[in-house]
């Protein structure tokens, strides 16, 4: 075991090598004392007080954009990575490791597989542990894409991607970034939904933290077991509403893991700064309770005080360990908890709910773009939702807020343009007493109606949005009715995964003779209709949360404010071009997402500064450039 002092010496020495950069004859592996420390430290984990230099190196890293030729110290953790700058570290124990040889090949953060150069193989005891060929990262990407395309079953691709992430993190992210349109449906919706359903069967190694009822009273210890210290974004779920698939209990873990891989690939947040967490309070899913491969606690869900005590202990522990400025994204909680958790913890923590707020932001962006195709202002349109839960009421509220800002009308008036249908029918005044609190402000004066078709025919919306979680509920009759009184009906089928989409892209175009302005939550392939190819847009919060999170992190924002979500919407809406519209999409393609995320980050950060919520001072002059400079890039480092 290496002493804490030796470890700190190794670190500060390594940092100075890092700063000197490549070409230093005396640096890198040639430095004997550093080599000696490495030799002794191989495959050991050391607990030591965090030295100050970590922050200095990280800041330097954030300010630089060219990465590939940097010489880096082979230390674990944030210091050798790009990504948003870190905060001053609280003085608590933390772990790091220094790896070489066989251990290095098994360390996903530093492993490069066959890409280790001859010199690196000599310097790091890799000779003989690898076959002789040295291949570039580009060739590795080509090979893995070739392998992935051989799989016919999407879940096999998912498993292959997760294997890669656990074997060679930088290659995983390079692959994902370079092939984002092709691989997003693999690591994210729709395949991640199936992965969660079968998570127990495909489980190999834990990819995040599990906090279960059994950990009550010990949540702080659980969090301390996570090997990374400098966490900037947590995505947490309790697995009760996974996409439109319902209660998947502990197996919902696939969602925080998937969302955070997008934080890195799409938004440039360092992988080591991302922490996926699942709160396991049981499941009411009988199929899972009876599944011998289920990985969660085998009991029905805890509710009430027992549930809230665990959540409170968890939220306190997060703040205690990671400080005030870790962004906590609530994901896929059921609505009977989601709204209350958001209301409660947004007062004390840096939190947002992706399903309520992230979704609202992306859909508002889609609507602002649609207006450029359809005409009119937000206030001149009439909106009808199928589904009045987190996504539906979250989107509705942000639309009302934007209308109110644009027209100066009171928000109560603006809400009257927006109607929602839930499982019992149109939400109307006569139902007010029996409605959940989050539905009450949408109970307008109208006769009761029980079917969507009746609501469409009576309200005559210009915009129809599906957030019900139930597939094929936008029937031919419903879509044709929309097309009968709208020249360009706006139809968004947002429910995930694909099988739960309210209608398919093909149905939307066929039933409206190609006139629909359509977007969906999960991707659909391009559709041929009447000699024209339509490329439907994907209205998914994945456009927003990576850039939003980056903006929060780089500004050091202490709270999420709704104006930051509006800023993100407006910025995203500006990125859709006439070329996108001509092809039938109101969103820019995901191929541009890193640039878009930097722009969203800049506008979110600018808003945080304007609102006095940002703590990173002085404010960078060019926020977009600063955001870009902070983004993690997965190009291999040179370990000479
Ligand atoms: N594209 C994207 O980025 C996002 C998509 N989503 C998707 O949206 C869907 C809903 O999510 P969320 O809002 O969180 O879920 P909730 O459970 O909070 O809300 C679902 C709503 O749909 C209503 N509903 C259910 N069945 C029917 C039906 N047959 N007819 C009419 N209404 C029905 C429910 O009614 P009642 O209240 O009466 O039970 C409820 O109001 C999911 O599929 C999810 O994947 C969510 C977030 C982001
Ligand atoms: C996309 C997403 O967050 C959902 O479907 O829940
Ligand atoms: Mg979600």
Active-site pick, 173, 188, 263, 632: 188
Rounded mean pLDDT, 376-381: 98
Reported as a single tens digit per residue, the pLDDT across 149-180 is 999 999 999 999 999 999 999 999 999 999 99
Reported as a single tens digit per residue, the pLDDT across 320-332 is 999 999 999 999 9
- Give me ligand 2 centre to Cα 354, in Å: 8
What global pTM score does this model have?
0.89
Reported as a single tens digit per residue, the pLDDT across 334-364 is 999 999 999 999 999 999 999 999 999 999 9
- Of 16 and 125, the one with more pLDDT: 125
- The C-alpha angle 299, 305, 306, rounded to 5 degrees, equals 30
Residue 194: which pLDDT band, with cuts at 50, 70 and 90?
A: very high
Residue 405 has pLDDT above 60, yes or no: yes
Q: Which atom of ligand 2 is nearest to the CA of 496?
A: 5
Q: Which atom of ligand 1 is nearest to the CA of 245?
A: 43
Residues with CB under 6 A from ligand 1: 241, 243-244, 335, 355, 359, 362, 386-392, 421-424, 467-470, 473, 494-496, 500, 521, 539-541
Q: How far separated are the first and last CA of the chain, in Å rounded? A: 25
Which residues touch 278 (CB under 8 Å, ≥6 apart)? 208, 209, 210, 211, 236, 237, 238, 239, 250, 252, 253, 256
Residue 139 has pLDDT above 60, yes or no: yes
Dist. CA 398–CA 34, nearest whole Å:
55
DSSP letter for each residue of 407-468: H---HHHHHTTEEEEETTEE-BGGGGGGS-GGGGGG-BS-----SHHHHHHHH--SEEEE-S
pLDDT of residue 56: 23
Closest to 111 in 3D by CA, of 169, 177, 160: 169
Q: Is the CB of 390 under 6 A from ligand 2?
A: no
Q: Identify the residue whose C-alpha is closest to ligand 2 atom 6.
A: 243
pLDDT of residue 99: 78
**What is the best residue among 468, 501, 520, 523 to mutate for testing ligand 1's pocket, by most ligand atoms within 8 Å of CB?**
468
**What is the best residue among 422, 440, 503, 519 to mutate for testing ligand 1's pocket, by most ligand atoms within 8 Å of CB?**
422
Dist. CA 280–CA 286, nearest whole Å:
15
pLDDT of residue 95: 44
Catalytic site includes residue 188: yes
Catalytic site includes residue 440: no
Please name the residue that has the structure tokens 């994902």: 176
- Give me ligand 2 centre to Cα 145, in Å: 26
pLDDT of residue 640: 74
DSSP letter for each residue of 280-334: E-----HHHHT-TT--S-SSPPP-HHHHHHHHHHHHHHHHHHH-TT-EEEE-S--
Reported as a single tens digit per residue, the pLDDT across 492-523 is 999 999 999 999 999 999 999 999 999 999 99
3-state secondary structure of 234: strand
Which residues touch 76 (CB under 8 Å, ≥6 apart)? 96, 97, 98, 99, 107, 109, 110, 227
pLDDT of residue 64: 30
Residue 14 has pLDDT above 50, yes or no: no
Closest to 349 in 3D by CA, of 314, 298, 400, 380: 314
The ipTM of this complex is: 0.99
Rounded mean pLDDT, 68-94: 43
- Give me ligand 3 centre to Cα 94, in Å: 31
Alpha helices in 46-188 (DSSP H): 53-63, 101-105, 118-123, 137-150, 154-167, 169-178, 180-187
Residue 64 assigned as binding residue: no
Give the tokens for residue 511. 């039933």
Give the tokens for residue 299. 């009991």
Answer for the pair 501, 194: CB distance below 8 angstroms, yes or no: no
Mean predicted lDDT score pLDDT of the chain: 88
Residue 19 has pLDDT above 70, yes or no: no
Beta-ladder partners of 532: 529
Residue 136: which pLDDT band, with cuts at 50, 70 and 90?
A: very high
């Amino acid at each position: 075991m290496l002493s804490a002092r030796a470890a700190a010496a190794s670190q500060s020495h390594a940092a100075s090598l890092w700063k000197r950069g490549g070409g230093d004859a005396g640096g890198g592996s040639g430095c004997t004392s550093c080599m000696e420390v490495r030799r002794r430290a191989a495959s050991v984990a050391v607990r030591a007080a965090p030295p100050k230099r970590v922050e200095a190196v990280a800041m330097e890293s954030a300010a630089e954009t060219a990465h590939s030729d940097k010489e880096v110290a082979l230390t674990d953790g944030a210091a050798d990575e790009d990504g948003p700058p870190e905060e001053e570290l609280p003085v608590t124990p933390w772990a790091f490791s220094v790896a070489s040889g066989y251990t290095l090949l098994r360390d996903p953060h530093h492993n490069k597989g066959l890409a280790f150069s001859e010199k690196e193989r000599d310097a790091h005891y890799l000779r003989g542990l690898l076959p002789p060929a040295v291949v570039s990262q580009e060739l590795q990407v080509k090979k893995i894409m070739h392998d992935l395309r051989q799989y016919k079953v999407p879940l096999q691709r998912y498993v292959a991607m997760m294997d890669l992430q656990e074997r060679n993190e930088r290659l995983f992210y390079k692959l994902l970034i370079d092939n984002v349109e092709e691989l997003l449906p693999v690591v994210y919706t729709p395949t991640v939904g199936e992965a969660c359903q079968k998570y127990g069967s495909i489980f190999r190694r834990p990819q995040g933290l599990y906090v279960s009822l059994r950990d009550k009273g010990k949540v702080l210890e659980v969090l301390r077991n996570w090997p990374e210290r400098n966490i900037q974004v947590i995505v947490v779920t309790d697995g009760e509403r996974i996409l439109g698939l319902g209660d998947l209990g502990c197996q919902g873990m696939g969602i925080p893991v998937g969302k955070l891989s997008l934080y890195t690939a799409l938004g440039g947040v360092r992988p080591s700064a991302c922490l996926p967490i699942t709160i396991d309070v049981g499941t009411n899913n009988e199929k899972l309770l009876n599944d011998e491969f289920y990985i969660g606690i085998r009991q029905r869900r805890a509710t009430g005080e027992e549930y809230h005590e665990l959540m409170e202990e968890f939220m306190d522990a997060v703040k205690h360990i990671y400080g005030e400025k870790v962004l906590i994204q609530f994901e896929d909680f059921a609505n009977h908890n989601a709204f209350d958790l958001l209301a409660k913890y947004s007062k004390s923590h840096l939190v947002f709910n992706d399903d309520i707020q992230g979704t609202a932001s992306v859909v508002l962006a889609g609507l602002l773009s649609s207006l450029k195709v359809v005409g009119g202002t937000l206030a001149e349109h009439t909106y009808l939702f199928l589904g009045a839960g987190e996504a539906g009421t979250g989107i509705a509220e942000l639309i009302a807020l934007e209308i109110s800002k644009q027209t100066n009308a009171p928000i109560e008036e603006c809400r009257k343009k927006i109607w929602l249908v839930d499982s019992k029918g149109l939400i109307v005044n006569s139902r007010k007493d029996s409605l959940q609190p989050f539905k009450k402000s949408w109970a307008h004066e109208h006769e009761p109606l029980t079917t969507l078709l009746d609501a469409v025919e009576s309200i005559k919306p210009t915009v129809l949005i599906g957030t019900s979680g139930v597939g094929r509920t936008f029937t031919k009759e419903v879509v044709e009715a929309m097309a009968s009184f709208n020249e360009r009906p706006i139809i968004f089928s947002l429910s995930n995964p694909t099988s739960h989409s309210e209608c398919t892209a093909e149905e939307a175009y066929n039933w409206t003779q190609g006139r629909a302005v359509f977007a969906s939550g999960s991707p659909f392939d391009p559709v041929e209709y009447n000699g024209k190819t339509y490329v439907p847009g994907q209205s998914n919060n994945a456009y927003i949360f990576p850039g939003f999170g980056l903006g929060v992190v780089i500004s050091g924002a202490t709270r999420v404010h709704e104006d930051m979500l509006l800023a993100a919407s407006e910025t995203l809406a500006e990125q859709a071009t006439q070329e996108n519209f001509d092809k039938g999409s109101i969103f820019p393609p995901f191929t541009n997402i890193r640039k878009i995320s930097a722009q969203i980050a800049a506008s979110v950060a600018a808003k945080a500064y304007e609102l006095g919520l940002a703590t990173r001072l002085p404010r960078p002059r060019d926020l977009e450039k600063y955001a870009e400079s902070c983004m993690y890039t997965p190009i291999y480092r040179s370990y000479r």
